[in-house]
Chains A and B, each alone.
Chain A
């Protein structure tokens, strides 16, 4: 054996300088591919697991990948058989993906193994492409070496063919730097045994001293070539080692505890991002928090759509526009095999659908609104009912309403209101307005495909599903009205509002489940509403549009305060959501966590944001505002509205704690207020007290 090659160790940051120093006098520089030129987003064995899932799904009659572990076990056994066969033939232990794929497809029970093997290989290569990314900064180093006239080759122990490796490097923009490539599956020799390095030296016509090899594996890329007299630059990067350890750890944890599935997905999407910015303002950070929640909600909508056999999806304005955009982009990547129905955006609102939904103008019919917004004025009531005041106020005056802005008190016991509602002329005019509004709404819904399927899905952020209740009531008399399934980000279920043929489902929160933990969504529902809402303004009604494809057009009204919040702050939130979605779609084949499996981790992240906000998040909340366009008509701002004086001194000293808690619970997002107070442990104490209180509230059977 000749003289050993020199072995130097560097990290990625020192690679450039080390190459400049060690490459002098070398004719060729060889690079390892995986973990040197390309980094991994998932462990190599995970790629095989994902391929096994795909294969199991393809051969199963119902398309389910339930048996993927058995299919994966087939591959493990076949790999050994191929290794043994290669060694018997005098080659090094290595297999070729294409040869193995044929045996694997046959072992999995495919009808035509050869045809399926082709698809399987193509899928695994797609997975490999998603699972790898060029080492940040490596392209610049390769370009400099090429510019300095060095001949670069890559050498890899891999079951992928040489063409596959070239394609992989080409997809990552690195192929152009290399003059030649060698891989164990083609040469039937491996780096581990050292025979592949001898093959490289022979093919390139080099002596060992004329080659410098760069790689990460201490044995295959370090010890073995060094023993052959090749100088070696071994990469040992602590940061990268830490990233890989974290990834491996998360993969192990996710395999045995579903809480970590969401964390693993986050690691795959967010680690070494291409589109996500490393740091951003408060809103960008908020967008990064909301994006996985919205994306998984949309994936859940897709799952539910298939499970419930929905023929049409309608995304309700205004939050639905964000979900529709995510849906369309996801559907575009998933392709027609995902079996998703057509989807449309429907401009609706509570105020635009309440009048058409009313069976009559009386207290029982109005109770759905009054339960939530009691103590109305007559002017507000008419506005909520979309009834013109110039027509109805003169009628009201006949029943003693001198001031339309005076509070009615409890509507059910308000004598002038009861007399007003009992007035036949009021009833006649109401019926005319209601029927006109109902006809317009039904025509609009028909044009949007509401009546085009026996079962349709309505997608919205939540919370009480009142638009769904309105739509179902408004269309109940139409002969071909569909069964309606409402799919909500968070559902605050009100049993009294349910009607036959209308079903509601909540993803992240559903009060029917009775879990207090998930109700964290409702503690700051405003943030979800504000930053998923489209900027086109609220729908206040409909007007005919003769001759158009959609014969009815929605009438929109934009509030200046909302426009300001949208323009100033929502832009960054939407940008972050978009950046996150791009990362997500690029890694989609690697992400197998179901929406249900990811829910615990997503909720945990929400709890972090809502219960223990950062100071800048809590302060930023004060800048936002939200305009209420139904029930009450005012601009909601989020500053503190309570009174410490009243809470502390407004009763017995022993009741002060209770009064303070009650005062805080009346606030929008009290945790943010406590965080702004900067009292140490205030949020923790409030969380414990709130938990204690909620823990005693057992839902009624």
Chain B
């Protein structure tokens, strides 16, 4: 039994590049928050609405395709599923932290902008405008 190895390499479905996958998910998530998507969901039969694959499921498949085969076999489906869920949880945490950071930054930016406008108004005319962050009652009284 000599000669070249007779077992050809396996030919699994080639995994796609990771970044486009991630970008597509992000833009799809962005689209799902849009007014148009809400219209589409409200006006479409349930079967037409795109299912949204869970991040943990997508990550599990990526892990199965990208980790070395020996690692996949050693870990098994159960551990890999746990790992994918952990990663998805991490991503979700990052998303929440990112959202709060963004919202905080946005509110600071808006507060500064409002302060700037008020400052400009008080410089240019009589100080009748309500100060920024005034209560509605204060604002009503000018």
Residues of A whose CB lies within 8 Å of any CB of B are 12-13, 15-17, 19-20, 135-138, 140-141, 144, 148, 236, 238-243, 245-246, 248-250, 253, 257-260, 263, 266-267, 270-273, 278, 513-517, 596, 600, 603-604, 607-608, 611-612, 614, 683-684, 687-688, 691-692, 694-699
Query: Measured between C-beta atoms, what is the minimum distance from B142 to chain A in Å?
Result: 33
In the complex formed, the residue of A with least CB distance to B30 is A691
* Residue B20 at the chain A interface, CB threshold 8 Å: yes
B133 at the interface (CB under 8 A from A): no
* Complex A-B, nearest 8 residue pairs according to Cβ-Cβ distance, in ascending order: A695-B34, A612-B20, A20-B1, A137-B7, A238-B69, A140-B6, A259-B51, A241-B73
Using Cβ atoms and an 8 Å threshold, which residues of chain B touch A699? 36, 39
| Residues of chain B contacted by A263 (CB below 8 angstroms) | 61
Closest to A604 in B: B24
Interface centre among A246, A250, A260 (most CB of B within 10 A): A246
B69: A residues at CB distance < 8 A: 238-239, 241-242
Nearest CB of B to A560, in Å: 36
Question: Known contacts A17-B1, A250-B61, A699-B39; is A245 also within 8 Å of B77 by CB?
Answer: yes
Cβ-neighbour of A687 out of B27, B40, B44, B68 (below 8 A): B27
B84 to nearest A CB, angstroms?
10
Taking CB atoms, residues of chain A closer than 8 Å to B16 are: 608
With both chains docked as a complex, state the minimum distance between the C-beta of A451 and any C-beta of chain B, in angstroms. Answer: 34
CB of A257 within 8 A of CB of B5, answer no
Query: Whole-angstrom distance between the alpha carbons of A423 and B40 in the complex?
Result: 49
Query: How many inter-chain residue pairs (CB < 8 Å) link A and B?
Result: 162
10 A–B contacts from the bound complex (CB under 8 Å): A20-B1, A135-B7, A259-B53, A260-B53, A600-B50, A608-B16, A608-B24, A611-B27, A698-B35, A699-B39
Q: How far is the CA of A621 from the CA of B100 in the complex (A)?
A: 42
Residues of A within 8 A of B21 (CB): 608
Is A243 within 8 A of B28, CB to CB? no
Contacts of B33-67 to chain A: CB distance below 8 A: 33-37, 39-40, 43-44, 47-48, 50-54, 57, 60-61, 64-65
Question: What's the nearest-Cβ distance from chain A to residue B54, in Å?
Answer: 7
Q: In angstroms, how far is the closest chain B Cβ from the Cβ of A235?
A: 11
- Assess whether B36 is in contact with A695, with CB atoms less than 8 Å apart: yes
Contact with A along B82-123 (1 / 0, CB 8 A): 000000000000000000000000000000000000000000
Contact present for B72 and A515 (CB under 8 Å): no
- SS class, residues of chain B in contact with chain A: helix
B20 CB → nearest A CB, Å = 3
Q: Are B50 and A137 in contact (CB under 8 A)?
A: no
Whether B23 lies near A683 (C-beta < 8 A) is yes
Known contacts: A246-B65, A271-B13. The answer to whether A19 contacts B70 by CB under 8 A is no
Of the candidates B7, B23, B76, the one having the most CB atoms from chain A within 10 angstroms of its own CB is B7
A571→B1 CA distance, assembly (Å): 42
Q: Do B61 and A249 have beta carbons less than 8 Å apart?
A: yes
A260 CA to B123 CA in the complex, in Å?
Answer: 62
Q: Are B23 and A687 touching (Cβ within 8 A)? A: yes
Q: Which residues of B contact A612 (CB under 8 A)?
A: 17, 19-20, 23-24
B125 CB within 8 Å of chain A: no
B136 at the interface (CB under 8 A from A): no
Least Cβ–Cβ distance between A519 and chain B, in angstroms: 11
Closest residue to A600 on the B side, CB-wise?
B50
A240: contacting residue among B6, B10, B19, B64, CB under 8 A: B10
Q: Mark B1-13, 1 if CB is under 8 A from A, else 0.
A: 1000111111111
Residue of B nearest to A140 (CB): B6
* B11 in complex: contacting residue of A15, A249, A267, A271, CB < 8 Å: A271
Closest residue of A by beta carbon distance from B9: A239
Residue in contact with A684 in the complex, picked from B23, B31, B52, B72, CB distance below 8 Å: B23
For residue A242, give the distance in angstroms from its CB to the closest CB of chain B.
4
**Smallest CB-CB separation from A686: which chain B residue?**
B27
Contact A136 B8 (CB under 8 A): yes
**Most central of B8, B10, B57, B70 by chain A CB within 10 Å:** B10
Q: Name the A residues within 8 Å of B11 (CB-CB).
A: 271-273, 278
